[in-house]
Amino acid sequence: MHPIEVLERYWQHTSFRPYQEDIISSVLNHEDTFALLPTGGGKSVCFQIPALIQEGICIVVSPLIALMKDQVNTLKEKGIKAIALTSGMSYKDLDTQLDNCIYGNYKFLYLSPERLQQTLVKERIQRMKVNLIAVDEAHCISQWGNDFRPAYKNISVLRELHPHVNCIALTATAKHNVVEDIIKNLDFINPSVFKASFTRPNIAYSVVHTDDKLFQLEQILTNAPESSIIYVRNRRATTDIHQYLKAKGFSSTFYHGGITHKEKQERLYQWTHEQTPIMVATTAFGMGIDKANVKTVIHFNLPESLESYYQEAGRAGRNGEKAHAIILKQHIDEDHLRNQFLSALPSVTFVKTVYNKLCNYFQISYGEGENTLHQFDFKSFCQQYKLSASITYNALILLDRNAVITLTQHFNYRTKIQFITTNTVLFQYLETHKDLNLLVKVILRTYGGIFDYDTKVDLSLITKKAKLSEKQVIAQLQRLESDDVISLQIANTDSEITFIKPREDAITINPIAKTIEQQHRLKHQQIEAVLHYIKNDTRCRNRQLLQYFGETSKTNCGICSVCTAPSTKATDASSDAISFQILKLLQTEALSSRQLMQQLNCSEEALFRSISELIETKTITLTPTNTYTLI
């Protein structure tokens, strides 16, 4: 079957995107292939179509569990047999799934690089008829790459098990030294290399300096009401900004790792089908989602690297029409970025301490613990050993990324309750246990069907509604359980930890010490690159991004915030007039920047330039309530 026929049959497209057909031809010619395609460039099709054409199964290595699941589900919906080896799978299930890959005519096996350390997995892969090895997010194999994962070195095992099978490496962001590192580490011989340009000529990159991000957000969304993504730093911010926009009359929804699978599917459907055009989300949102008509991508907080920013911004304008990628910046953001990503970087000594405490916490003896699974209460762990939560979390992430442990976070973990008595008996019971009345009524009014089946309940929601402490709620639930009123399963952990290696304390960490230090240096470089980008208001933003990725352009884009900024001469001419108007308005009362903005006919940038000049000359000052007043 010809590639275009496969594309039409399964994807209902009649033509390929740039580079796709050439990459597919290279793979079908059994050449090792490197493909650097920007976000939205259709990387997955480049290995999926060749795998479907050839006899056998394609092994796809990916570090992103959520993306693996999404791709497997998408393939299944198309009638294509695919399997993902996800974390938490029992030995029996793993054994069955691998047998299915050998005997069940499956076309795709998705797995994480850590799986290639398991003897069972390697033995079964050797027995499979493999037609292609695909390495997604290939930059993870390079120590110079964004999100370096040493476990990616295990991919060489696949090449040893199937030396005659060619390999394709795919990534959306890789600088020149990273590309060379990928090719070397995957043992490519005379590879075909395809690099699409990093330029996105239809995206207008902007950095907006503002002291009032929410007001600026309103202005942007009012002027561009089409499909938008607002990226924020944490889960709480997704709900806060969603509620703010909703109160202002905007149609929005929010998305983060803590909502249920059903909620994710519903909200994604609403957003992709234009029912709620604004999506407020953490940065994990958007991977594997091909929505062509996103008009605006807004970063409410500074991105942690230009690699991640380019990928996230690239989710706008995939239909080729003009789109906007906007970073909102205020004067305190620089310190926040450094504090969040640099101050919380754990030293090698601290990583050793956390590992040692972790082993003690689970009472793992020296030389033991390999492949053991444990329920993990992160908060309790930090409290017991008096550890900083932020630095400890980053230490655990480093241990996970360097294949010492696997950390699985269960954001949807819930306590389960079922009433195992009748309504009549329950209320008779409450007559003699009046102190339990409030809790029972809160549960009954919050969760329907709780008499019929085990129901997942949110303890934090119950404590809030009942105005009781979590300790009081748990104690009362345990009384109800002991009196045979309810069945109860208390979820006292939010995570699971699997120890991949046996406990050897410092000996376990020493081999990855240099890797940790290198990752820290890279993170410092990435943060400084972001800060340089947002501060540089004199050079075309598109050219700045291109230069970062090793690509040069002699022409300005003409549409970014630098290219479209008013000339210095025009700004200077109006600066005195704006300052005069500010002073006139402040004569009667102190005003916030938002109030000044509403009364002045100027850009926000020009307003803040004039305010800064007036503060420097000690003509006005900022009050404790964030308003400006005359001195």
Domain ranges of the chain: 3-195, 203-331+523-548, 340-411+494-504, 415-489, 568-630
Is the predicted pLDDT of residue 481 greater than 70, yes or no? yes
Give kind and range of the element (H or E) at residue 73: helix 65-77
Is the predicted pLDDT of residue 166 greater than 80, yes or no? yes
Count CA within 13 A, CB hemisphere, residue 216. Answer: 21
Q: What is the pLDDT of residue 474?
A: 87
Q: What is the pLDDT of residue 492?
A: 56
Letter string b/e over residues 121-143, b meaning 16 or more CB atoms within 10 A of that residue's CB: bbebbeebebbbbbbbbbbbbbb
> Six-digit token pair at 365?
């003896």
Lowest model confidence (mean pLDDT) among 6-15, 58-67, 149-158, 565-574: 565-574
Q: What is the pLDDT of residue 414?
A: 62
Average pLDDT of the residues of the chain: 89
pLDDT tens digit string along 327-368?
999 888 998 899 888 988 999 999 999 999 999 999 999 999
Pairing state of beta strands 57-61 and 495-499? unpaired
Pairing state of beta strands 192-195 and 203-209? unpaired
**CATH class of the domain defined by 3-195:** alpha beta
| Ranges 107-111, 417-421, 461-465, most confident | 107-111
Indicate the CATH number of 203-331+523-548 among 3.40.630.10, 3.40.50.150, 3.40.50.300, 3.50.50.60: 3.40.50.300
Is the predicted pLDDT of residue 569 greater than 50, yes or no? no
- The order of strands in the sheet holding 486-489 is 455-457, 415-419, 486-489
pLDDT tens digit string along 384-411?
999 998 899 999 989 988 889 988 775 5
Q: What is the pLDDT of residue 490?
A: 75
What CATH code is assigned to 568-630? 1.10.10.10
**What is the distance between the alpha carbons of residues 375 and 147, in angstroms, rounded to a whole number?**
26
pLDDT tens digit string along 215-263?
899 999 998 889 999 999 888 899 999 999 999 999 999 998 778 778 8
Is the predicted pLDDT of residue 568 greater than 50, yes or no? no
Pairing state of beta strands 455-457 and 415-419? antiparallel
**What is the distance between the alpha carbons of residues 93 and 100, in angstroms, rounded to a whole number?**
11
pTM (2 d.p.): 0.74
Lowest model confidence (mean pLDDT) among 59-68, 166-175, 298-307, 532-541: 59-68
Count CA within 13 A, CB hemisphere, residue 240. Answer: 10
Mean pLDDT for the stretch of residues 7-14: 91
Is the predicted pLDDT of residue 293 greater than 90, yes or no? yes
- Does the domain at residues 340-411+494-504 carry the CATH identifier 1.20.1050? no
Q: Are 549 and 173 in contact (CB under 8 A)?
A: yes
For the beta carbon of residue 578, count every other beta carbon within 10 angstroms.
Answer: 22
Please report, rounded to a whole number, the percentage of residues in the chain having pLDDT higher than 70: 96
Q: Would you say the CATH fold of 568-630 matches that of 203-331+523-548? A: no
Contacts of 511 (CB under 8 A, 6+ apart): none
Contacts of 451 (CB under 8 A, 6+ apart): 418, 419, 423
Q: What is the pLDDT of residue 570?
A: 47
Is the predicted pLDDT of residue 413 greater than 60, yes or no? no
Contacts of 602 (CB under 8 A, 6+ apart): 574, 578
Count CA within 13 A, CB hemisphere, residue 422. Answer: 3
Q: What is the pLDDT of residue 402?
A: 85
- The order of strands in the sheet holding 82-85 is 82-85, 108-111, 57-61, 130-135, 167-171, 33-36, 192-195
